[in-house]
Amino acid sequence: QVQLQASGPGLVKPSGTLSLTCVVSNGLISTNNWWSWVRQSPEKGLEWIGEIHPSGKTNYNPSLKSRVTISIDRSKNQFSLKLTSVSAADTAVYFCARERTFWGQGILVSVSS
């Protein structure tokens, strides 16, 4: 079955940009599925960030839309998340998933100076 693995810096400075990449294996990212980012914190629980289709179409959570960009690289079978102007409130475990069906392990990202 498809597997997903998120990677990126575990520490980001306040006001900086959080950048994560999710590599998809045992399956093609070009299939007709949506590829998602979800985060989890003790304060907010599970929060859907957004998703991208291989066509390039995206949907974002309005609460984060002004700061989020999700992109896809079909040649590398991966998709990425950028979250700008981060604060301590963005500290969370970030998961990548295929349509909230198959989930990657998650990566803890802390925002701190």
Partner 1 sequence: DIVMTQTPLSSPVTLGQPASISCRSSQSLVNSDGDTYLNWLQQRPGQPPRLLIYKISNRFFGVPDRFSGSGAGTDFTLRISRVEAEDVGVYYCTQGSQLPYTFGQGTKLEIK
Query: Which window, 12-20, 22-30, 42-50, 74-82, contacts partner 1 (CB under 8 A)?
Result: 42-50
Q: Which two tokens stand for residue 92?
A: 């969370």
x/- contact string, 65-104, with partner 1 (CB under 8 A)?
A: ------------------------------x-x-xxxxxx
DSSP type of residue 85: S
Give the residue with the Cβ less far from partner 1, 45 or 56: 45
Residue 7 has phi, psi (to 5 degrees) of -145, 160
How far CA 44 is from CA of 40, 74, 83, 100, 113, in Å, comes to 7, 32, 17, 18, 22
Dihedral sign computed on CA atoms, order 66, 62, 45, 100:
negative
Stretch that binds partner 1, among 12-20, 22-30, 46-54, 74-82 (CB under 8 A): 46-54
Q: Find the binder of partner 1 among 86, 106, 109, 111 (CB under 8 A).
A: 106
Binding site for partner 1 (CB under 8 A): 1, 45-48, 59-63, 95, 97, 99-106
